[in-house]
Amino acid sequence: MVRIARPVTVDEAVEALSEEPGAQLLAGGTDFCVEVNFGHRRPPAVVALRRVDELTHREVTDEVVTLGAGVTYSDLVGPLSGVVPALTAAARSVGSPQIRNAGTIGGNLATASPAGDTLPVLAALGARVGLRGPGGERTVALEDLVTGVKRTSIRPDELIVEVAVPRVRGSQQFVKVGTRNAMVIAIASAAVVLDRDRREVRCALGSVAPVPLRVPLAEASMADAIDWERMAAPAAALTSFGEIAAEAAAPISDHRSTAAYRRRAVAVICERAMRRCLRDAG
Amino acid sequence: MARDNVVAGATSAPPGEATGTATATVAPRVGDDAPRPDGIPKATGRFAFSSDLWIDGMLWGRTLRSPHPAARVRSIDVAPALALPGVWAVLTAADVPGRPTFGLEVPDQPVLAGDVVRYHGEPVAAVAADHPETARAAAEAVIVDYEPLTPLVDPAAALGSPPIHPDGNLFRHLPIRHGDPGATGTVVVEGEYEVGMQDQAFLGPESGLAVPADDGGVDLYVATQWLHVDRDQVAASLGLPVERVRLHLAGVGGAFGGREDVSLQIHLCLLALRTGRPVKMVYSRDESFFGHVHRHPARMWYRHHATAEGDLVKIEARILLDGGAYLSSSNAVISNAACFAPGPYRVPNAVIDGYVVRTNNPPCGAMRGFGSVQVCYGHEAQMDKLAAAIGVDPVALRARNALHRGDRLVTGQVLTGAVPVREVIRAAAARPLPAPADPDGPVIARPGGAGLTADPEDITRGVGFALSIKNVAYSEGYDDYATARLRLEAGAGGEPVATVVVATAEVGQGFVTLAGQIVGEELGVERVVLAPAGTAEVGSAGSSSASRQTWVSGGALQLACAAVRAELVSRAASKWACPTDAVEVSPGALRRSDTLERAGWAELLHPPIEVEEVYHHRPTRALDADGQGDAHLAMMFAAHRAVVDVDRGLGLVRVVQVATGQDVGRALNPLQVTGQIEGGIAQGVGLAVMEEIVLDTGRVRNPSFTDYLIPTTLDMPVVDAVLVQEPEPGAPYGAKGVGEPPAISSGPAVLAAIRDATGLPLSRVPVRPADIALADPSG
């Protein structure tokens, strides 16, 4: 029999985790319950987080948007729509309305799938993730949280409490490729951010590497090519941005697509996302 | 155990809810938009599907399946499973008391695998336990010692490979030789085409409940397409007379051909009889992908010969279908594929060879369109190629070659029924094209949808056109009759109440409304009850497939209505001591024409009238050694015009609109016909652009709705449907079937539209994004 803890505070949740090593955290269940149905996961204990109201907090300041781990995709599409536009776009691309009502941003981070839709956006924006364990809180950069395919640096006695997303002046885009027009696992995705204050381009790719992949060479070459006063760039620079990003990708071939297609898709969507960013800004 | 204990799902149409309720003031008639009694319950989640079946004290069944596409089974040790608390039975091949195999045409498939497994997912053991989790653990605890073999997965290599089954690797070779095989045309076009493996993807997984009976038999409540053929196969393997195996239709959550073969029926009954307890089984979604047959993948070669003006002279074709490990209905599927290989065109000369072979891939069998779908991709691509080679409009070329009444198929059969091919072409072609894509419209309405991948400059629009031909009902001499019982009695208020008893499986096609419409039409009776369908209650209705039930079960019910009317007249004639031709019948009343004496029906319904009628359609004949013969009952035709937006850079597609003209004979329930057309187009679009079971050396890689993609609302085009109504001679009410044609030529029209948008040859479906994005533009 599976033991189930139903904490109502984060502290109780941490306590329950400490008491049940190997316990599975359950938020929306949109990843975990699928694994249970397929017989891939049978944890001895579950810590159910739905009653932990603290985890659904959200705060928006001029500098940063803080999202509790329990914020759902529907929250990002609805009440928080446009606060972080690329994150809204990524959330809108997840599953069906029912899945978006249940699935949470904390769950997307903790599952750490290469195809996690919010991950490239959070990586491109330099998000930091707040964790709590028996020793208290710590924060880690997204790049340090996700360490491999469905692997994270979260300790067994910790849970994700929140994610802090810096606000950036400038435009941002999220684009995702799948074989169906909705409810599809990403074959490739990209988040592109123009930071006008720092005159930086930031780009992260999804589904084409074990972890969300920043592409610094592509970012730097694009930043150099942009006329930041006019917010314009030569068409050739956009194409080159996509090509450099595609070279950095490390895609695989599987039953969803081929490495060759994924690499091509990265080039196309990075170029288009950047084109849109410049149009939005110009 | 009494049937009354079954509290859910015993029928898809509970008595009294079937049709024609007390609130109706006028009897429903043929031609009405009669609403489905199960429509709102299904939409609101209150309909009892077979997976909702429940009986107190029931056990849970589970199937252990082979992880290998080909292996010798050295040994099976069930002891560790039986040792688990709560496990009631673990059965293997040795526990099948009767015939060890089953099959629709030939019993070549083991109920449980013996010393060899021939496909990934083949059942090896069946378990019953007191909890689904215990059953799962027990199945995992069975130790099977496999010696994996190299699977035969290339259908082209099947004939040259050692047999993987005692019956050999060739299921059927069907040659068709028509006219002059040496004829040639001045214009010749050739091509090779390929169709991937599609799944029916019905939403209600296989499920059922078997209840052991006091007579040593069993009652099985199950979602199926054909109760009696299931019964016969179950009884054979149980070693019981058919009377002691009673099947009852449970709520069906879609079928599309995937419920024609036995899945869990025999396993459930074996477990119930072994344990003496009711046993329920529900496949998970992934197991469902292993639990039923799929659409045959196809490889096709075509060569069309035509005159310089565009008249077809000869068609050469070789069609190879991958039947997978067991026969199922492969022999009938290849018959359709070969007979309809030319499409709905006049072809004086033909050399066609159809082959269907055995491999270690998953078994393939019936799916909506049944052989016509695969060849439609071939013949329609060829017609476009021919139009391009001659330099004529592809729609005009089709109309020029379209079949007429009185023309011959390449089987030599003369078409005597309604053949409105030009009419369906004209109807589809005349529909207005959709407005050009709005550059300021929502991004999610573009190719790529919610992924927001495309801007207006990334999109190209294309238009494609396709025609199809498909037969109604079974062919080649098969007598797929249907039986109907009709009881007419007086209700509490003296009003006539009709009860229709048929074994017709309601799988969504709409016999639930048609039963009441036919009785309303024939007898004017408002209150019509459709009794639960079961094998103990009435004779076979045949399968709810091949677009046949409206014709055959409808025909049987029409006969039953006539018999009831005749009995009413006979009783009135006896009462008045007059000849029967002096009795006039009107709804609810009778009158003697000479004396003007009157009587209400109620007076004459003690005892109630009860009749049973069997309907046989016109016999068909076998095909001879040259594939010639009157093998088919009647033909259905459809035309589809698809408009697509394609993102060439990413290879993503949005189907914008499908316009269709469909030959329906006569629409008996236009609302439902429209529903069938929309649903069929969804499946056609799915095969064209996304639906495929991905195999890797015989192993299924995507057995889930995460990775087996079917169209969503954002993938479904606007459908603009025109019903072409030319009554079919000899068919009850002139109605043809309607379920299959929308799933046949819609996909080829979409593929043609993608070719139009991209200029790429694209000879394989589903079209994958890489096929477009990584294509060499030079071809």
pLDDT in tens, B284-311: 999 999 999 999 999 999 999 999 999 9
The answer as to whether B642 is a domain residue is yes
By C-alpha distance, which of B43, B31, B39 is closest to B12?
Answer: B39
Q: Across the A/B interface, how many CB contacts are shorter than 8 Å?
A: 106
Peptide bond into B607 cis (omega under 30): yes
Q: Which of A37, A177, A257 sits opposite B448 (nearest CB)?
A: A177
Q: A187 vs chain B: nearest CA distance in angstroms?
A: 10
CA closest to B652 among chain A residues: A179
Query: Rounded distance, CA B91 to CA A34, Å?
Result: 29
Q: What is the 3-state secondary structure (H, E, C) of B510-579?
A: CHHHHHHHHHHHHHCCCEEEECCCECCCCCCCCCCCCCCHHHHHHHHHHHHHHHHHHHHHHHHHHHHCCC
**CA count, 13 A, side-chain hemisphere, B720:** 16
Instruction: Indicate whether B165 belongs to any domain.
Output: no
Identify the CA nearest to B116 among candidates B149, B160, B83, B156.
Answer: B149
| Amino acid letter, B410 | V
- Work out the number of other CB atoms within 10 angstroms of the CB of residue A171: 22
The answer to whether the bond into B155 is cis (omega within 30° of 0) is no
Identify the CA nearest to B421 among candidates B393, B401, B437, B441: B401
Nearest C-alpha neighbor of B664 from the set B689, B645, B688, B636: B636
Query: Class assignment of domain A172-281?
Result: alpha beta
CATH code assigned at B281: 3.90.1170.50
Taking CA–CA distances from A184, the nearest residue in chain B reads: B706
Q: How far apart are CA B11 and CA B530, in angstroms?
A: 10
Give the closest residue to B174 by CA, choosing from B747, B720, B663, B624. Answer: B624
Q: Same structural domain for residues B486 and B468?
A: no
pLDDT of residue A144: 97
C-alpha Rg value of chain B to the nearest Å: 27
pLDDT at residue B777, rounded to an integer: 65
Note whether residue B176 is domain-resident: no
- Report yes or no: B72 at the A interface, CB cutoff 8 Å: no
Per the prediction, chain A carries an average pLDDT of 96
CB contact under 8 A, A176 and B136: no
Contact present, B765 and B639 (Cβ < 8 Å): no
Q: Are residues B344 and B432 in the same domain?
A: yes
Q: Which residues of B touch A96 (CB under 8 A)?
A: 712
Looking at the fold, whether B563 and B688 belong to one and the same domain comes out as no
Give chain A positions within 8 Å (CB) of B447.
181
Using CB atoms within 10 Å of the CB of residue B566, give its burial: 0 to 12 exposed, 13 to 18 middle, 19+ buried: middle
Q: Are strands A172-177 and A188-195 parallel, antiparallel or unpaired?
A: antiparallel
Instruction: Label residue A42 by pLDDT band (50, 70, 90).
Output: confident
Q: How far apart are CA B674 and CA B668, in angstroms?
A: 11
B712 at interface of A, judged by CB pairs closer than 8 A: yes
Q: What is the pLDDT of residue B6?
A: 36
Same domain, B280 and B307: no
B650 by DSSP, 3-state: which?
Answer: coil
Residues of A in contact with B455 (CB under 8 A): 272, 275-276
Of the residues B615, B637, B661, the one at which a domain ends: B615
The string over B59-83, giving b where at least 16 C-beta atoms fall within 10 Å of a residue's C-beta and e elsewhere, is bbbbbbbbebbbbebeebebeebee
Considering only CA atoms, which of A11, A75, A71, A100 is closest in space to residue A47? A11
Minimum-distance CB partner of B770 among A38, A178, A257: A257
Cα–Cα distances in Å, from B97 out to B6, B63, B269, B539?
27, 18, 11, 26
- Are residues A32 and A41 in contact, defined by beta-carbon separation less than 8 angstroms? yes
Give the C-alpha separation, A110 to A55, whole Å: 14
A180 contact residues in B (CB cutoff 8 A): 449, 690, 709, 711-712, 714-715
Between CA B763 and CA B760 the distance in angstroms is 9
Q: Domain A3-166 belongs to what architecture?
A: 2-Layer Sandwich (3.30)
Mark whether B241 and B323 lie in a shared domain.
Answer: no
Report which DSSP code applies to B245: E
Across the beta sheet with B652-663, what order do the strands follow? B459-472, B634-647, B652-663, B718-724
Q: Which residues of A touch B451 (CB under 8 A)?
A: 93, 175-178, 181, 184, 186, 189
For residue A271, what are the contacts with CB-CB under 8 A and spacing of at least 6? A238, A239, A241, A242
Return d(Cα B314, Cα B189) in angstroms, integer.
11
| Angle in degrees, 0-180, between the axes of helices B372-390 and B746-758, rounded to the nearest 10 | 40
What's the ipTM?
0.97
B118 with B235, same domain: the answer is yes
Distance from CA of A109 to the nearest CA of B (A): 20
CB of B403 within 8 A of CB of B415? yes
A24, A43 Cβ separation under 8 angstroms: yes
pLDDT score recorded for residue B20: 37
Interface check B459 vs A, CB under 8 A: no
Question: Nearest residue of A to residue B686 by CA position?
Answer: A180
B368/B455 same-domain check: yes
Task: Give the three-state DSSP class for B602.
Answer: helix
**Residue B153: closest CA among B751, B693, B755, B778:** B693
The pLDDT, as a whole number, for residue B552 is 98
Which residues neighbour B239 within 8 Å (Cβ) at sequence distance 6 or greater? B97, B98, B99
Chain A closest-CA separation from residue B699 CA (Å): 11
- Give the whole-angstrom CA distance, residue B133 versus residue B141: 12
Q: Which of B650, B701, B768 sits opposite A177 (nearest CB)?
A: B650
Tokens of B370: 């049944």
- Are B103 and B89 contained in the same domain? yes
Shared domain check, B632 and B601: no
CA distance linking residue A36 with residue A100, whole number of Å: 19
- The residues near B569 (Cβ < 8 Å, ≥ 6 apart) are B580, B583, B585, B590
Q: What residues of chain A lie within 8 A of the CB of B440, using their CB?
A: none
**Co-location of B442 and B540 in the same domain:** no
Are B451 and A38 inside 8 Å of each other by CB? no
Mapped to the 3 state alphabet, what secondary structure does B156-207 carry? Answer: HHCCCCCCCCCCCCEEEEEEEEECCCCCCCCEEEEEEEEECCCCCCCCCCCE
What is the DSSP secondary structure assignment for residue B345, as one 8-state letter?
B
Q: For an interface test with A, which of B133, B453, B690 has the most A Cβ atoms less than 10 Å from its Cβ? A: B453
* pLDDT at site B22: 39
Domain presence at residue B198: no
User: Which of residues B574, B594, B615 is at a domain's end?
Assistant: B615
* Ranges of H-type helices in chain A: 10-19, 32-37, 73-77, 85-92, 97-102, 105-111, 119-124, 142-145, 216-225, 235-248, 259-281
Taking the C-alpha atoms of residue B592 and residue B580, their distance in angstroms, rounded to an integer, is 9
Query: In this structure, are residues B120 and B290 in contact, taking their beta carbons and an 8 Å threshold?
Result: yes
* Amino acid present at B19: T
Q: Which of B563, B583, B615 is the last residue of a domain?
A: B615
Distance CA B157, CA B257 (A): 27
CA distance A241 to A270: 7
Nearest CA in chain B to A182: B450
B233 and B130, same domain (yes or no):
yes
Tell me which residues of chain B have a pLDDT lower than 70. 1-25, 777-779
B773 in reach of chain A (CB within 8 A): yes
Contact (CB<8Å) A175/B701: no
- Note whether B188 and B34 are within 8 A (CB): no
Residue A38 pLDDT: 84
A268 and B649 in contact by Cβ < 8 A?
yes
| Of residues B12, B73, B17, the one with CA closest to residue B48 | B12
* CA-only gyration radius of chain A, Å: 19
The number of residues making up chain A comes to 282
Task: Please report the pLDDT score of residue B776 as a whole number.
Answer: 81
Q: How far apart are CA B384 and CA B754, in angstroms?
A: 13
Query: What integer pLDDT is reported at residue B311 of this predicted model?
Result: 98
CATH number at residue B511: 3.30.365.10
Q: Is the dihedral of CA A114, A116, A117, A118 positive or negative?
A: negative
Q: Is residue B663 part of a domain?
A: yes
Dist CA B209 CA B50 (whole Å):
8
Condensed to tens digits (0 to 9), the pLDDT of residues B639-697 reads 999 999 999 999 999 999 999 999 999 999 999 999 999 999 999 999 999 999 999 99
The answer to whether the CB atoms of B707 and A185 lie below 8 A apart is yes
To the nearest whole Å, the CA of A6 is away from the closest chain B CA by 23
Q: How far apart are CA B559 and CA B616, in angstroms?
A: 11
Q: What is the pLDDT of residue B19?
A: 38
Report how far residue A177's alpha carbon sits from residue B453's, in angstroms, rounded to the nearest whole number.
Answer: 7
Q: Are residues B440 and B586 in the same domain?
A: no
Give me the half-sphere count of Cα atoms (radius 13 Å) on the Cβ side of residue A8. Answer: 0
- Give the number of domains in chain B: 3
Write out the residue range of the structural domain in which residue B687 sits.
298-475+623-773
The DSSP code sequence of B96-152 is: --S-SEE-SSS--EESS--SEE-STT-EEEEEEESSHHHHHHHHHH-EEEEEE----
Residues 6+ apart with CB under 8 A from A157: A14, A17, A18, A21, A133, A134
The residue type of B13 is A
Say if B197 falls within a structural domain: no
Q: Tell me where in chain A the CATH 3.30.465.10 domain(s) lie.
A: 3-166
